[in-house]
Structure formats: C-alpha cells, structure tokens
C-alpha cells in the first residue's frame, strides 16, 4: 500500500515514469510542494517561479558535488493544474538507466521521497482529480494491448462512464429524496411526488443500467481481447489454422495426430482489436484414448472452449464430418461458433463448384439451433484465406466500437452496476406492490451505495487496495 | 465545598429531564429557572410527538425519562401518524392541555427527592481554569457544584420581533438572559444566531367553527409511556382544519416589507422545515392555499393555536390576513405571532456526552445546541443529565449508537455535522430506520435501561414481562405448525382467505399479507393478543426480510463504528489528508472511524489514509514490543 508518514500536503515524491532500459529519452516525474524548489537547485536555468505548462531546457547537476549529469528538458505544472493535482515536474533526460538512476539519487539526496507503486495516480485520486473509475482507466490505458482497448480506456479516463454513473446517481437521489420527503412530511398536506412519476423515473434508470450491463461483454472483449478457441478432432489441422490466422508459425505442425497435447496461446491485433487464439488438444471420442495426459489435455480443451468468446470448430473436409464431431459439438454446445472446414484443397467435395455450405451442413445434420453459425471452407496452406476467417471472427462477435457508446469493461464496474440494477428492479417492484415507501427507500439506498462504490465515493478499504495495488511505480 | 452535585440552568423540556435524571441517580441537584411558573411550558404548539419525534419520546420513556408519561397524562387528542404506511415510519402524536402539562411537570419537580427548584437568572459560570465549578446568579450569589447543565432554550440574548418592533426576551412574558453566552463567546466558543417563530393564539369564541372541518383523534390509545394506562385521563377533543386563501396570500405579500424576516432585521437562520407563513408563500409561490389546523391549547382555556401559520408580521397585518381565512372572519387575536432570535453554541463544540470540549463539567442540552422541538430538547436534557451524573459518580459515559436509538442519531448528527439551522429529527436521518421502530423500542433499549437504573423497579419488571411475552410468542410461532387439513381449509374459506398449499409454521403463515395475529387466534391457536406483545412480533415476522438486510448493513458498518480512534491521534501527521480534512478532523475529533466518515468534507480517501496511519502506528508499536522480546499480536486493523 501507499507510503506512510508526513502529510499529503508536505511530501514530494519522485520516480522514473518510463519503462526501464535504454531508449531515446526517459522521464522522471516529481510531485509535491518541493518539486519546483528542488528543480531550481538541480537544474541550470530553471527559475524560482516557473510558468505552468512550460518546458525549461538545462543541465541537471548534483548541487552537492557540482557534478553535471545530463542535458534535460523539464516540464513544469503548477499546483492544481497537474495530473496529481500537486506541483509537478517531468524531467526528460537521455534514455539511459545509469542517467536515470543518478538523477533519481540526486533528487532523493535533496530530500524527495521515492514514489510507491501507483502513488501518482493515488495522489490524483486523493486530490479529487480522478474518481476511482478514472483511476482504473489509467491502469487500463497503460496496459492496453490494442488500439481499441486504449480507446475505451481513454474515454473512461475522460470520464464518460463516470458521467453516466453520476447522472444515474443524481436521478436516484432525486427519487430517494422525494420518497423520504413523502414519509417525513406526510402531515403537511403536500403532494410531494406520485407513484407513477417514481416508477417512470426509476424505469428510465433501470433501462440505462441495463444498457450499460449489455455493453460489458463487448467492453471486456475490447479491453482484454477476444478469446477464440480452436477445437476439433486430432489432425484436422488446428495448429496449421492457428499459424495461418497469426500470420506466423507458432504451433508445431506434424502429420502425427495429437501433436498439440497442451494448449498453445498466441495473440494478434486485427483491425485494432486484440484476438487471443487458443490452440487446443484434439478431441477424440472418449473411448479412443486412455492416455491420461491426453485425457487431461482434452479436459482442458473443453474448459477453454466453454470459456472462450468464440469457438472455431474445425473439421476435416477430406475426411468429412463424423460422429465424434457430432458428439463433441453437442458436448460443448458453444454459444458463439464458426465452423471451419479445413483442407479444402484436398477435399473432393470442395473441388466441386456447385458445393455450398448449407447443403454440406444439412448433410452433416448439425443440431438445428447452431445451424445458423457461419461455415467456412478453407485451406490452412492458403494465406489468402486468413482475411476471410478474421473478418468472420470479428463479425461473429460484433465488437466494433461505435460512436459515443459508453462501455463497461471492468469486472468490478460490472458487478456494482449489476447490483444497482437488481436493487432498482426491487425498488420498482416494491412500488408496484405498495409495500410502503420505507422499503422502496432501502432498495434505492442500496442501489445508490453500489453506484457510489463504483466511483469510490464511498470508502471501502478492500476496493481501494485492490485498485491501487495493480499499479507500477511511476504511474 | 460544593453546595450541589449538579446545577441545571433552565426548566424547559431539556432542563426537566436533566434534573430528574441527576436527582433520581441520587445526586443533590439544583434547578434554576427565570420563571418558576413556566416549568415544562409549551412555548409553541400544544403537542408532543410526531414522526421520529414520537420515536424519541418512547425511547426516552424506556430509559426512564418523564416526557412521555406527562404527555399521556395530559393528552386531549391522540393520533398515530402514517398509520397507512409501514411500521418503521409510523409515529405517535398527542395534543396536550398545556396548562395541565405545565402543572404536572411543576409538581413532579417539586416532589422529587434530592431536587431543589429555585427562581433566578444565571449570569455567569464559575470557572476554575477550564473546569466549570458552579454558577453566579443575578443577585450575585455564587453556587458551587461538580457539574453544570445549561438548557437555556431561546433565552440567551433572545430578541423577539413583532413586525419591525423588537424587544429583548426569550418568550412573550419572559425576559432574555444576558451574560451567559457572552461569557462562552469570550472563552472561545463559536456562538451563532438562530431564529424561530410561533403563530398567533386566537380566541375560541371568536371562531366560526362551522366553516372548518373537525379532525378527531384515534379511539384506540397506545400511550407513549410504559407507565401509562391505555385509557385517556382527560376528555378527548377535536382539532379543526381550514385553509389560507388567495386573499390571505395577497395581504401577506403586500406586507412583506414589514416582516423582520424579509427586510433583513433578523440575521438568525430559521427552521427550513417549520417555515413561517411569509416563507411558505414566498417559497411555494405557485400554491394558492396552505392548510392550517386550529388546535385547542387545553380543556379549560379559550386559546386556540393556529398550527402552520407562524409569523412575525405586525399585529394589524396578522388581523388582516387571518380574517381572509374561512372561519376566522371575525377572529380575535389574544396574542400575536412573533419571531425569536437567540444565541446557540455551534454543536460540534460538544462531545457525545453533551459535555463541552473546552470546559470540563459543563454540559449543554436543547435549543442551545441548535435543535428545534420539545422532544429533541428533552432527550438531550436526559443524556446531558445522565452523563453529568455519571461524571460525578465516576461511572462510564452513556452514549447511544446510531443503530440503537434516534437519540443516538440526534446527538451523533449534532456533534459530527453541526447545524446551521434549527435541527429537527426526521425518520430519514436514521440510516437504520427499519430497526428503529416505535414498536420495538423496549426490545432495543431494555438492557441499556436496566443497566442505567433510572426506570423504577416496577416498570423495569413490566418491561421485562413484555419482552418475555414477545419472545414467547415468537418462539411459539416458530415452533407451531398449521396443517392444510380439510377442516382448516374450510375455516380459511369461511373467512375469505386463500387456502393453504402445504403445511407451514405459524410464523410463515403470519408472513402472508392477509393474515393477522387475530386471524391466527380465530383459527384456533392460543395467541397473546395484547397489542403491546402481538403487534411488535407481527411486524418482526412480516418484515423479517427487510429487517435482516438492515441488520446486515449495520453489521458491515460495525467495522468502522467499532474502531475507536486513539485520543492522541495527530491528524497533521496522517499522510494523505488535505488541509481542510486535517482542520475538520482536529476540531471534531471523531470517536470512531465511522463518525469520521460522516463528517462533511472528509472524503473517502481520508478514511483510507487514517486506516493506513493506524496500521502503521500499530505495527510500529508491535515492532517495539518485538524488540522488547514480546510476541507479535495480530493486526486487528487489517481485518
């Protein structure tokens, strides 16, 4: 957890904010009341009263020894106008770990404290520059692995989700206030609000909550990437397909069935979205194998398929569909599915120009409720087929980030909004059932607690700990 | 040498409870009042109780206070408010014969052992450094004591306003007390002004009652007090409803410049929740009528109290607008409405015991702490009295928690949040409202009361008996089964009730909305139908789901409510606090982390910071123990 001793208004912290290692430049961040005074001591040409949002060029030196360390640019942000809300300086030096270390050492000798993990963001939260949702978005932004996930993190940092939750909070507070007034001013002969008005307002809130909840799958997918599992019988070419989809060789491909015994995971960015593929051990009919390692591998495959956002169910066009495929398909019954018929180059049927997917699938007698899933005939050896499959994957999960849509992408937010939704539903039900305003009130209060906890407006030590411990130093 | 153990200053609703508590706890007590004829006088409405207020009167009664008993005895109309709503937000209100009330309280005080009643005005406190050691009266006499409770009401530097005329005084006919609040101010207390008002009193015989609507009380009496019988002692009377008209509002609007409230003469903040008619008309300008109740001030008086029409307009304007109200066309005013401005002590300067932070052995209770209402005053008087007595006797502080009683909510709100307007209790102020009901008051407070020892033995026995009967009935309901036999189903059909689908315990059966204890008894089960017993049990059964949720929430908050903050905690050294937070926390010095959380302007992040600080304090201490060869004790704060 964040460091101890001294008041928030009196300590100045510093840390290297760029990743370790050699690079063009590195950035060292200082935050706290002594930032400018310290910079003034250690930097040639850095004035006593610098101007906010201005860069100052100069030589960084150790004021005790007078030894010069590097040529740097120092960017100054005044108190109240920075990320942390405190006086902040960002020193850009040459990207060498040696230089960074020497600058940091000098700053610490000058009385600054090394920052704890997440402390800059923690200070921003403490100084009310960010709410909890925004603080989490900083982490997401830093960790984002694709353009889309960076985009949603940035939107969250800019406060779109916070704005939405605040709006809901204020609507529900209005309802709660009016219910309370109706209880406590019952003798004043005032019509404070009607049941209809309350039901209407709360139904609107409920709708908004439901919309938010419905975005979670997509938000999570965009943030963490789309989990795609390749499953199928041994030697239908799953590993070749994986290599095709990745655009490079990741899995070992042999003619020997059952080569992939354990799972292989690899990711690729496609049109801004991270897609994580899992190549799984081949599925045999349970009577076919007794090799305990292989059985275990198959169990893992099954679990992976059940967890995945999308399953690519691979089969061999040359061999055709068989009862093992049938059995596993029923067994896994994936929600989101694409059939990949591989080895179209070898399959007699595929050479037939009159062949269409529907006819084949009918012949294969696929279970009706998944018969709407797309069927693609491909050859893992034909690089041109990659684009078709990738496009279908993206289409199947419809993960496009459209317009201004606000997305839930954190499990914590989802859980809280789900709670808020449940309590709002119960409040509306209580209004319908006419059980009494004080019971509607208790539901609404709990809904509000959930919303406020999302934003960190209520104190919960476990939540705070969880959020801030995920940060690295310098953030 | 002390002449008295405790001196109580003021004999209003707070002073009465304070002096009775101390003298009943065996302490030699002096009560000083400026007017010995106005003990327990109802300066404003002739009524006690109401939503949340009724709750407090019952709580006070169980703990051994006097107000509920006096209110029952002098009741001339009884009502259970919100009776159509759920059990947690029902409230008892009675109209009282104010002269009988005043008479009864005067007798109670005069007959109380260990208590001396004396007329006089307290000019100053006797201070020894920062310890209060007695008072100085207006005749110059010094009286010494071990503790002083001030319940000065609206009297400290009180100024009355009728129109643009002002006169010093805390109530019509009574002079203000000058000196006390100046002394406190000089000592460094933050003393502020508040304002309150009262409506005109009308002559009964000048009212045309035919133009008003009579409002009767409830026939069935559920007295406040455990000690009262459920039969009315006095004749029950009606109140009457009438309404202001468009003409009333016009006259008031035209004369706003003559209202001291609106031309800036009054600086004190008035009660938002009990606004004057001038306020109402300005704030709710779209309404062309407001209701008003004509309430008799007693059985043998011609005075009628005009509820809801408090005003400080000049008397002739009051005449003009009153005569536009149906029934009041020829009304005669006996006493015009007026406003009072008075000094109060910003209540974050007092502790949960109601002792001031800066002067030891000095306790404050009632309107002096910024509250409004007889009930709010009475319960504070009681708490101040008990704690003054406990201090003298060397006993523990008596503090009720927010989840135990409205009393706890009231005092915690005052000392934590302070107030800028007269503070009135509402059910919505209690976050644990569902468990703070009128019906379960004795279950909540029996143990506390019995330990406190203010309830006479005979009442305590009665209380325990009811508690036992409730427990018995509960377990009977849990253990007894009702079977869907043909006979039973027929009985249900005969009573137009839905038949049963399976056998149930009586508890489950009673949970049905169409089933009451009376029905259960009627179906052939032996039930205790005494409403004092069955009603509370029925409510517990019917609302068990909600009550459980509330209890769960209380349990969750316990973690913070039970975490006592060290008295030597220096907030300046807690890293992560803003200057504003350091300032507020240092001033209010919350007892618990839960209280710190309720201070406005203290952010959730500050609570985090305090917890981290406490953890590090603890581990620092443990480290030093370790080096001294002691075992590490588990970090309780980490849980």
- Three-class SS state of B144: strand
Residue extents of the structural domains in chain B:
4-196+341-449, 201-339, 468-550, 563-638
Contact B50 A187 (CB under 8 A): yes
Assigned fold of A141-215+407-456? 1.20.120
Minimal C-alpha gap between A127 and chain B (Å)? 8
Contact assessment for residue B195 and residue B269, using Cβ atoms and an 8 Å cutoff: yes
In tens, the pLDDT along B398-454 reads: 999 999 999 999 999 999 999 988 999 999 899 888 999 999 999 999 999 999 999
Quick one: pLDDT band at residue B171, thresholds 50, 70, 90? confident
Q: What is the pLDDT of residue B627?
A: 40
Share of chain A above pLDDT 90, in %: 30
- Three-class SS state of B465: helix
Nearest by CB: A186 against B82, B575, B578: B82
Phi then psi for residue B504, to 5 deg, are: -135, 160
Pinpoint the alpha helices (H) of B567-603: 579-588, 593-598
With an 8 Å Cβ cutoff, is B608 touching chain A?
A: yes
For residues A317 and B330, the model is more confident at: B330
Q: Are strands B122-128 and B131-137 parallel, antiparallel or unpaired?
A: antiparallel
Residues of A in contact with B619 (CB under 8 A): none
With an 8 Å Cβ cutoff, is B92 touching chain A?
A: no
Assigned fold of B4-196+341-449? FAD/NAD(P)-binding domain (3.50.50)
Least confident interval from A187-196, B131-140, B189-198, B333-342: A187-196
Residues of B in contact with A11 (CB under 8 A): 575
N- to C-terminal Cα separation, chain B: 51
Q: Highest mean pLDDT: which of A130-139, B163-172, B485-494, B628-637?
A: B485-494
At residue A54, does pLDDT exceed 50? yes
Q: Are strands B338-345 and B131-137 parallel, antiparallel or unpaired?
A: unpaired
Best of B576, B590, B593 to disrupt the A interface (most A CBs within 10 Å) is B576
Contact B546 A437 (CB under 8 A): no
In tens, the pLDDT along A351-404 reads: 544 445 555 566 555 555 556 777 888 888 888 888 888 888 888 776 665 666
For the A13-130 domain, the top CATH level (class) is alpha beta
- Three-class SS state of B203: strand
DSSP bridge pairs for A226: A275
- Three-class SS state of B179: coil
Nearest by CB: B51 against A2, A4, A184: A184
Minimal C-alpha gap between B426 and chain A (Å)? 6
Least confident interval from A47-51, A76-80, A186-190: A186-190
In tens, the pLDDT along B326-348 reads: 999 999 999 999 999 999 999 99
Contact assessment for residue A35 and residue A11, using Cβ atoms and an 8 Å cutoff: no
With an 8 Å Cβ cutoff, is A98 touching chain B?
A: no
Q: What is the pLDDT of residue B622?
A: 61
Residues of A in contact with B81 (CB under 8 A): 186-187
Q: What is the pLDDT of residue B618?
A: 74
Rounded CA-CA distance B296/B97 in Å is: 8
Residues of A in contact with B580 (CB under 8 A): none
Q: What is the pLDDT of residue B147?
A: 98
SS (H, E, C) B45-106: CCEEECCCHHHHHHHHHHHCCCHHHHHHHCEEEEEEECCCCCHHHCEEEEEECHHHHHHHHH
Rounded CA-CA distance B510/B526 in Å is: 14
Nearest by CB: B604 against A1, A441, A456: A456
**Alpha-carbon Rg of chain A, whole angstroms?**
29
Quick one: pLDDT band at residue A340, thresholds 50, 70, 90? confident
Nearest by CB: A459 against B86, B546, B608: B608
Q: Are strands B291-296 and B303-307 parallel, antiparallel or unpaired?
A: antiparallel
With an 8 Å Cβ cutoff, is A461 touching chain B?
A: yes
Contact map slice: A 419-438 vs B, CB within 8 A: 435-438
With an 8 Å Cβ cutoff, is A41 touching chain B?
A: no
The CATH number assigned to the domain with range A224-397 reads: 3.40.50.300
Nearest by CB: B549 against A4, A180, A442: A442
Quick one: pLDDT band at residue A430, thresholds 50, 70, 90? very high
Contact A8 B577 (CB under 8 A): yes
Contact B578 A8 (CB under 8 A): yes
Contact A5 B578 (CB under 8 A): no
Contact B546 A442 (CB under 8 A): yes
Minimal C-alpha gap between A441 and chain B (Å)? 9
Q: What is the pLDDT of residue B322?
A: 96
Nearest by Cα to A316 from A283, A294, A287: A283
Minimal C-alpha gap between A85 and chain B (Å)? 12
Nearest CA in chain B to A434: B85
How much is the average pLDDT of B366-386? Answer: 97
Nearest CA in chain A to B594: A459
Residues of B in contact with A435 (CB under 8 A): 86
Quick one: pLDDT band at residue A469, thresholds 50, 70, 90? low
Give residues with Cβ within 8 angstroms of A163, minimum separation 6: none
Contact assessment for residue B501 and residue B484, using Cβ atoms and an 8 Å cutoff: yes
A101 C-beta neighbours (distance < 10 Å), count: 12
In tens, the pLDDT along A107-144 reads: 999 999 888 778 888 888 877 788 888 888 888 888 78
Contact assessment for residue B602 and residue B578, using Cβ atoms and an 8 Å cutoff: no
Contact map slice: B 305-334 vs A, CB within 8 A: none
Contact assessment for residue A118 and residue A2, using Cβ atoms and an 8 Å cutoff: yes
Contact assessment for residue A242 and residue A251, using Cβ atoms and an 8 Å cutoff: yes
Q: Highest mean pLDDT: which of A57-61, A335-339, A367-371?
A: A57-61
Average pLDDT, chain A: 82
Helices and strands in chain B, H and E counts: 20, 22
CATH 3.40.30.10 fits B201-339, yes or no: no
Residues of A in contact with B611 (CB under 8 A): 461
- Three-class SS state of B172: coil
Phi then psi for residue B310, to 5 deg, are: -70, 140
| Long-range interactions of B114-117: CB distance < 8 A, separation 24+ | B114/B22, B114/B23, B114/B24, B114/B26, B114/B27, B114/B28, B114/B29, B115/B19, B115/B20, B115/B23, B115/B29, B115/B30, B115/B31, B116/B4, B116/B28, B116/B29, B116/B30, B116/B31, B117/B11, B117/B31, B117/B33, B117/B36, B117/B39
Share of chain A above pLDDT 70, in %: 83
Rounded CA-CA distance B351/B422 in Å is: 19
CATH 1.10.1050.10 fits B468-550, yes or no: no
Nearest by CB: B434 against A128, A438, A464: A438
At residue A331, does pLDDT exceed 80? no
| DSSP assignment letter at B601 | T
Nearest CA in chain A to B88: A438
3-state helix, strand, coil in chain B (%, to 5): 40, 20, 40
Identify the CATH homologous superfamily for domain B563-638: GidA associated domain, C-terminal subdomain (1.10.150.570)
Q: What is the pLDDT of residue A400?
A: 61
Average pLDDT, chain B: 91
How much is the average pLDDT of A252-264? Answer: 65
How much is the average pLDDT of A427-444? Answer: 90
Contact A128 B582 (CB under 8 A): no
Minimal C-alpha gap between A136 and chain B (Å)? 15
Which two tokens mark A64? 């005790």
Interface predicted TM-score of the whole assembly (ipTM), two decimals: 0.81
In tens, the pLDDT along B1-32 reads: 569 999 999 999 999 999 999 999 999 999 99
On the CB side of A330, CA atoms within 13 Å amount to 9
In tens, the pLDDT along B218-270 reads: 999 999 999 999 999 999 999 999 999 999 999 999 999 998 877 778 877 87
At residue B624, does pLDDT exceed 60? no
Contact assessment for residue A317 and residue A341, using Cβ atoms and an 8 Å cutoff: yes
Contact B573 A437 (CB under 8 A): no
Contact B609 A438 (CB under 8 A): no
At residue A465, does pLDDT exceed 70? no
Q: What is the pLDDT of residue A3?
A: 40
Nearest CA in chain B to A189: B291
Contact A183 B428 (CB under 8 A): yes
Least confident interval from A244-248, A319-323, A336-340, B491-495: A319-323
- Three-class SS state of B356: strand
At residue A6, does pLDDT exceed 50? no
With an 8 Å Cβ cutoff, is B637 touching chain A?
A: no
At residue A341, does pLDDT exceed 80? yes
Minimal C-alpha gap between B431 and chain A (Å)? 9
Contact assessment for residue A269 and residue A148, using Cβ atoms and an 8 Å cutoff: no
**CB pairs < 8 Å spanning A and B:** 102
Contact map slice: A 157-216 vs B, CB within 8 A: 180, 183-184, 186-189
Nearest CA in chain B to A9: B578
Q: Where in chain A is the domain with CATH 3.40.50.300?
A: 224-397
Quick one: pLDDT band at residue A410, thresholds 50, 70, 90? confident
Contact A438 B574 (CB under 8 A): no
């Amino acid at each position: 957890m964040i460091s101890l001793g001294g008041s928030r208004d009196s300590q100045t912290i510093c840390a290297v904010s760029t990743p370790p290692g050699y690079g063009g430049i590195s950035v060292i961040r200082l935050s706290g009341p002594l930032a400018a005074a310290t910079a003034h001591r250690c930097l040639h040409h850095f004035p006593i009263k610098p101007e906010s949002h201005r860069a100052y060029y100069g030589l960084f030196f150790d004021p005790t020894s007078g030894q010069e360390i590097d040529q740097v640019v120092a960017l100054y942000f005044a108190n109240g106008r920075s990320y942390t809300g405190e006086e902040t300086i960002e020193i850009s030096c040459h990207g060498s770990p040696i230089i960074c270390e020497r600058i940091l050492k000098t700053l610490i000798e000058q009385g600054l404290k090394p920052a704890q993990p997440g402390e800059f963001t923690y200070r921003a939260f403490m100084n009310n520059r960010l709410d909890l949702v925004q603080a989490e978005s900083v982490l997401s932004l830093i960790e984002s692995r694709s353009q889309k996930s960076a985009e949603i993190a940035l939107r969250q940092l800019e406060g779109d989700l916070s704005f939405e939750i605040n709006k809901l909070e204020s609507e529900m507070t209005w309802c709660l206030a009016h219910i309370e007034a109706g209880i406590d001013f019952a003798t004043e002969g005032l019509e404070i609000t009607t049941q209809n008005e309350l039901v209407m307002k709360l139904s609107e809130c409920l709708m908004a909550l439901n919309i938010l909840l419905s975005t979670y799958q997509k938000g999570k997918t965009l943030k963490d990437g789309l989990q795609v599992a390749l499953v199928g019988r041994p030697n239908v070419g799953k590993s070749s397909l994986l290599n095709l989809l990745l655009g490079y060789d990741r899995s070992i491909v042999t003619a020997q069935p059952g080569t992939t015994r354990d799972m292989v995971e690899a990711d690729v960015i496609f049109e801004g979205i991270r897609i994580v593929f899992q190549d799984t051990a081949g599925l045999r009919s349970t009577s076919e194998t007794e090799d305990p390692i292989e059985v275990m591998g198959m169990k893992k495959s099954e679990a992976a398929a059940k967890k995945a956002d999308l399953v690519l169910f691979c089969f061999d066009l040359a061999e055709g569909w068989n009862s093992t495929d049938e059995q596993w398909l029923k067994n896994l019954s994936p929600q989101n599915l694409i059939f990949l018929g591989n080895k179209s180059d070898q399959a007699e049927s595929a050479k037939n120009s009159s062949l269409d997917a529907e006819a084949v699938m009918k012949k294969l007698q696929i279970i009706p409720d998944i018969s709407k899933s797309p069927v693609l005939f491909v050859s893992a050896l034909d690089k041109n087929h990659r684009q078709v499959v990738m496009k279908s994957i993206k289409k199947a999960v419809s993960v496009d980030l459209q317009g201004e849509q606000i997305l839930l992408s954190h499990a914590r937010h989802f859980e809280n909004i789900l709670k808020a939704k449940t309590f709002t539903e119960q409040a509306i039900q209580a209004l319908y059932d006419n059980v009494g305003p004080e019971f509607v009130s208790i539901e609404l209060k709990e809904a509000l607690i959930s919303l406020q906890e999302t934003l960190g407006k209520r104190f919960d030590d476990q939540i705070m700990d969880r959020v801030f411990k995920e940060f690295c130093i310098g953030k | 040498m002390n002449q008295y153990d405790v001196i109580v200053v003021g004999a209003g609703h707070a002073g009465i409870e304070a002096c009775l508590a101390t003298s009943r706890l065996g302490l030699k007590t002096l009560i000083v009042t400026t007017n010995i004829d106005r003990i327990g006088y109802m300066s404003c409405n002739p009524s006690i109780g109401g939503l949340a207020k009724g709750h407090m009167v019952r709580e006070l009664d169980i703990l051994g206070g006097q107000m509920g008993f006096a209110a029952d005895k002098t009741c001339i109309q009884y009502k259970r408010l919100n009776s159509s709503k759920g059990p947690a937000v029902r409230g008892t209100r009675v109209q009282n014969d104010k002269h009988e009330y005043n008479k009864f309280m005067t007798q109670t005080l005069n007959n109380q052992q260990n208590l001396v009643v004396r007329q006089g005005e307290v000019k100053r406190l006797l201070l020894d450094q920062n310890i209060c050691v007695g008072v100085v009266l207006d005749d110059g006499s010094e009286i010494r004591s071990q503790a002083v409770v001030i319940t000065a009401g609206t009297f400290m530097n009180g100024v009355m306003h009728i129109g643009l005329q002002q006169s010093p005084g805390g109530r019509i006919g009574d002079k203000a007390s000058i000196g006390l609040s100046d002394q406190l101010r000089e000592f460094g207390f933050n003393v502020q002004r508040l304002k309150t008002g009262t409506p005109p009193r009308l002559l009964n015989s000048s009212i045309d009652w035919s133009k008003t609507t009579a409002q009767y009380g409830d026939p069935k009496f559920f007295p406040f007090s455990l000690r009262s019988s459920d039969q009315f002692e006095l004749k029950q009377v009606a109140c009457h409803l009438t309404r202001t008209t468009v003409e009333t509002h016009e006259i008031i609007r035209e004369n706003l410049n003559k209202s001291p409230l609106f031309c800036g003469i009054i600086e004190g903040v008035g009660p938002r929740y009990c606004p004057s008619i001038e306020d109402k008309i300005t704030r709710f300008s779209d309404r062309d009528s407001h209701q008003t109740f004509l309430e008799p001030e007693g059985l043998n008086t011609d005075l009628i109290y005009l509820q809801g029409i408090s005003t400080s307009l000049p008397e002739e304007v009051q005449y003009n607008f009153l005569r536009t109200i149906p029934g009041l066309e020829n009304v005669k005013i006996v006493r015009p409405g007026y406003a009072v401005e008075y000094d109060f002590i910003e209540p974050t300067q007092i502790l949960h015991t109601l002792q001031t932070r800066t002067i030891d052995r000095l306790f404050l209770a009632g309107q002096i702490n910024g509250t409004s209402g007889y009930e709010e005053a009475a319960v504070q008087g009681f708490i101040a009295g008990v704690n003054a007595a406990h201090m003298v006797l060397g006993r523990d502080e008596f503090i009720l928690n927010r989840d135990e009683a409205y009393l706890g909510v009231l005092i915690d709100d005052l000392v934590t949040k302070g107030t800028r307007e007269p503070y009135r209790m509402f059910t919505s102020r209690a976050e644990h409202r569902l468990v703070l009901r009128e019906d379960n008051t004795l279950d909540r407070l029996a143990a506390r009361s019995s330990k406190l020892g203010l309830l006479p033995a005979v009442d305590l026995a009665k209380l325990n008996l009811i508690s036992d009967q409730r427990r018995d009935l509960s377990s009977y309901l849990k253990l007894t089964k009702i079977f869907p036999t043909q006979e039973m189903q027929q009985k249900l059909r005969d009573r137009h009730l839905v038949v049963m689908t399976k056998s149930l315990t009586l508890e489950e059966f009673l949970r049905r909305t169409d089933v009451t204890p009376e029905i259960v008894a009627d179906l052939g089960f032996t039930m205790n139908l005494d409403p004092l017993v069955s009603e509370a049990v029925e409510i517990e059964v019917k609302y068990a789901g909600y009550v459980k949720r509330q209890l769960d929430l209380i349990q969750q908050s316990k973690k913070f409510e039970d975490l006592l903050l060290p008295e030597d905690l220096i907030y300046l050294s807690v890293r992560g606090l803003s200057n504003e937070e350091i300032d507020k926390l240092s001033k209010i010095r919350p007892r618990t982390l839960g209280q710190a959380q309720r201070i406005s302007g203290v952010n959730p992040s500050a609570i985090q910071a305090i917890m981290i600080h406490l953890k590090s304090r603890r581990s620092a201490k443990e480290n030093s123990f370790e080096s001294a060869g002691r075992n590490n004790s588990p970090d309780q704060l980490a849980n």
